């Protein structure tokens, strides 16, 4: 029987699944980004606690787990089986789960096992939307499984954040190409694991939502303040909280969206 080749994005994430959490744990910058992310996600969580949620590109399940711990039912989906396995292990450790979470090993570009209008809330953190091929088509598939009135919160790479890489490499041709369509490559040592990623501008996000009849509720930049360069200042708990509060005031300002490495948007499927 012919061996099915895993796509590069799956190969890469299969390899890092076992160590994925340790890459971020204990890093003050990422802890702040995660706090800002969660506060933004919470704003759009359904009021109805019986709502059904889906964490797409779930990785090790960081966000779906938080959703479950907040009292909702959440399913998980990832293109990497090894990531899905990590989620399964975490779920085993939760006592008294009052629902049976579904775990899907598939790409968000095609989710044949999920019926139309299944979910009230979909979260996709860490850019699965930009890693899945044609993003406009992927949005169509995400909208298909979202209920009318449901909300998706998706985090993507920001074109304006990606420009630095090309300038640092003095790759002007690369920069010109990147600015045309936001397409770039995730660079790893092993060429078989290099996959195409699309970065977005706020304008493209707006157009994409409009094309799918979604109401764009919010776009934030993560982060508006250049916090990555000042990680030491994030170690002190009080300073950290002050900076998070400032960040929350700044990160939706249109004139600052260009400063951020990532953009996160929340959009509602019109009933």
Ligand X SMILES: C[S@@+](CC[C@H](N)C(=O)[O-])C[C@H]1O[C@@H](n2cnc3c(N)ncnc32)[C@H](O)[C@@H]1O
Instruction: State which residue, 143 or 167, has the beta carbon closest to ligand X.
Output: 143
SS3 8: helix
Region for 139 from its dihedrals, namely left if φ exceeds 0, alpha if ψ lies in -120 to 50, beta otherwise: alpha
Our CA dihedral for 210, 213, 218, 224, rounded to 10 degrees, sits at -40
Considering beta carbons, is residue 10 or 247 the nearer one to ligand X?
A: 10
Q: Which two three-digit tokens encode residue 122?
A: 């979909």
The yes or no reply on residue 122 touching ligand X (CB under 6 A) is: no
Tokens describing residue 172? 């002007």
Told to check if 135 binds ligand X by CB under 6 A, we report: no
- When asked if residue 269 is in the footprint of ligand X (CB under 6 A), the reply is no
Taking CB under 6 A as the criterion, the residue among 8, 126, 150, 182 binding ligand X is 126
Rule CB under 6 A: is residue 45 a binding residue for ligand X? no
CA 54 to chain centre: 12
Residues touching ligand X, count (CB under 6 A): 19
The nearer residue to ligand X, 132 or 146, going by C-beta atoms, is 132
Spatial distance between the Cα atoms of 35 and 82, rounded to a whole number of angstroms = 26
When asked if residue 83 is in the footprint of ligand X (CB under 6 A), the reply is: yes
Q: Which one of 80, 158, 184, 198 is in contact with ligand X (CB under 6 A)?
A: 80
Among 62, 204, 212, 269, binds ligand X (CB under 6 A): 62
| CA gap 190, 6 in Å, rounded | 14
- Does 184 sit near ligand X (CB under 6 A)? no
Of 72-80, 199-207, 226-234, 255-263: span binding ligand X (CB under 6 A): 72-80
Among 8, 13, 41, 114, the residue binding ligand X under the rule CB under 6 A is 13
Q: Kindly state whether residue 78 participates in binding ligand X, applying the rule CB under 6 A.
A: yes
Using CA atoms of 238, 239, 242, 247 in order, give the dihedral in degrees to the nearest 10.
-140
Span of 66-74, 121-129, 218-226, 261-269 interacting with ligand X by CB under 6 A: 121-129
The answer to the question of residue 158 lying near ligand X (CB under 6 A) is: no
Binding of residue 79 to ligand X (CB under 6 A): yes
In this structure, are residues 95 and 68 in contact, taking their beta carbons and an 8 Å threshold? no
Question: What gap in Å lies between CA 85 and CA 16, rounded to an integer?
Answer: 12
Task: Give the 3-state DSSP-derived string for 127-176, with helices as H, strands as E and coil as C.
Answer: CCHHHCCCHHHHHHHHHHHEEEEEEEEEEEEEHHHHHHHHHHCCCHHHHH
Q: Is 131 in the site for ligand X (CB under 6 A)?
A: yes
Query: Site residues (CB under 6 A) for ligand X?
Result: 9, 13, 57-59, 62-63, 78-80, 83, 107-109, 125-126, 128, 131-132
């Amino acid at each position: 029987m012919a061996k099915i080749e895993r796509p590069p994005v799956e190969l890469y994430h299969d390899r890092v699944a076992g160590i994925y959490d340790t890459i971020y744990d204990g890093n003050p910058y990422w802890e702040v980004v995660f706090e800002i992310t969660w506060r933004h996600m919470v704003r759009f969580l359904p009021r109805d606690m019986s709502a059904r949620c889906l964490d797409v590109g779930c990785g090790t399940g960081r966000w779906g787990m938080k959703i479950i711990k907040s009292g909702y039912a959440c399913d998980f989906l990832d293109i990497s089986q090894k990531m899905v396995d990590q989620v399964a292990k975490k779920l085993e450790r939760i006592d008294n789960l009052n629902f049976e979470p579904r775990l899907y090993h598939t790409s968000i570009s095609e989710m044949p096992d999920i019926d139309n209008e299944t979910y009230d809330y979909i979260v996709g953190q860490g850019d699965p939307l930009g890693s899945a091929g044609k993003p406009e088509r992927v949005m169509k598939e995400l909208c298909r499984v979202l209920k009318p009135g449901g909300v998706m919160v998706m985090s993507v790479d920001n074109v304006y954040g990606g420009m630095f890489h090309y300038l640092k490499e003095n790759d002007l041709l690369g920069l010109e190409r990147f600015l045309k369509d936001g397409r770039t490559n995730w660079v790893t040592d092993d060429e078989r694991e290099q996959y195409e990623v699309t970065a977005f501008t706020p304008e493209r996000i707006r157009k994409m939502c409009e094309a799918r009849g979604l109401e764009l509720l919010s776009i934030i930049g993560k982060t508006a303040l250049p916090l990555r360069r000042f990680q030491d200042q994030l170690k002190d708990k009080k300073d950290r909280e002050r900076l998070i509060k400032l960040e929350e005031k700044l990160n939706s300002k249109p004139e600052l969206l260009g400063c951020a490495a990532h953009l996160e948007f929340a959009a509602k499927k019109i009933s």
